[in-house]
Structure 1
Amino acid sequence: MDLMGMMGKLKETQNKIEETKKRLDSVLVEEQSSDGLLQVTLTANRKIKTLTIDDALLEDKEQLEDYMVLVLNKAIEKASKINEAELDAVAKMDMPMIPGMDNLFK
């Protein structure tokens, strides 16, 4: 078993994961309410970039709150799926098979 080779591969994988995380800052996910009155854009790292609220929603605080919860949760779910898929792909592609380490990136 080439321990030095595996350690080098592990470091390389960690670097690729960090690069992927940085790249995901530029991957934008958009979501909106069904009527288009509320729109949100966030990165695949789940950071909100823009939030657009139509004036019609400013009349009804309760409706606005409901819309925000619904739309933000849908956007976060989309971003999370992209984030996990990208990071899983990097981890699986480069990870040496080390017994007991298969849960490291979950």
Structure 2
Amino acid sequence: MFGDISGMMNQLQQAQQKVEETKKRLDSVLLDEETSGKIKVTVTANREIKSIQVDDSLLVDAEELEDYLVLTLNKALKRANEINEQEMAAAAKSGMPNIPGMDMFK
């Protein structure tokens, strides 16, 4: 009915390994996001903040600084999340065995 079970298990293990390799690789994918030249944020595709650069003009107004930080971080994390989801789905799909009726990644 399901064909070669050990072959499917092997494919699942390979898929899991591919997902882990992709996670590692995404740690090295850096994304920069900038807002009005005032804040620059660098994050990994795994959504880890690596650096934040703040223009000195924002240091006198805490509320403005907070607004720019939130805006810039949200933009950076959104981009990172999109890349992460695409890469992880591709890694998982490429290693999944072909089980009839289990088209999870259309």
TM-score, normalised on structure 1?
0.90
For the aligned residue pairs, the C-alpha RMSD in angstroms reads 1.3
The alignment-based identity, stated in percent, is: 54
Residue 71 of structure 1, CA deviation: 0.4
Residue 100 of structure 1, CA deviation: 5.0
Partner in structure 1 of residue 5 of structure 2: 3
Partner SS, residue 50 of structure 2: strand
Partner in structure 2 of residue 66 of structure 1: 67
Partner SS, residue 96 of structure 1: coil
Query: 5+ unaligned residues in a row in structure 2: which ranges?
Result: none
In 2, Cα distance between equivalents of 1:94 and 1:16: 7
Q: Which amino acid aligns with 1:41?
A: T
In 1, Cα distance between equivalents of 2:79 and 2:89: 15
Partner in structure 2 of residue 54 of structure 1: 55
In 2, Cα distance between equivalents of 1:92 and 1:6: 13
Cα deviation code 1:39-78 (max 9, x no counterpart): 0001000011110001100111101101111100000000
Aligned counterpart in structure 1 of residue 22 of structure 2, from 20, 23, 28:
20
Query: 5+ unaligned residues in a row in structure 1: which ranges?
Result: none
Partner in structure 2 of residue 87 of structure 1: 88
TM-score, normalised on structure 2?
0.90
Q: Which runs of 4+ in 1 moved over 4 A?
A: none
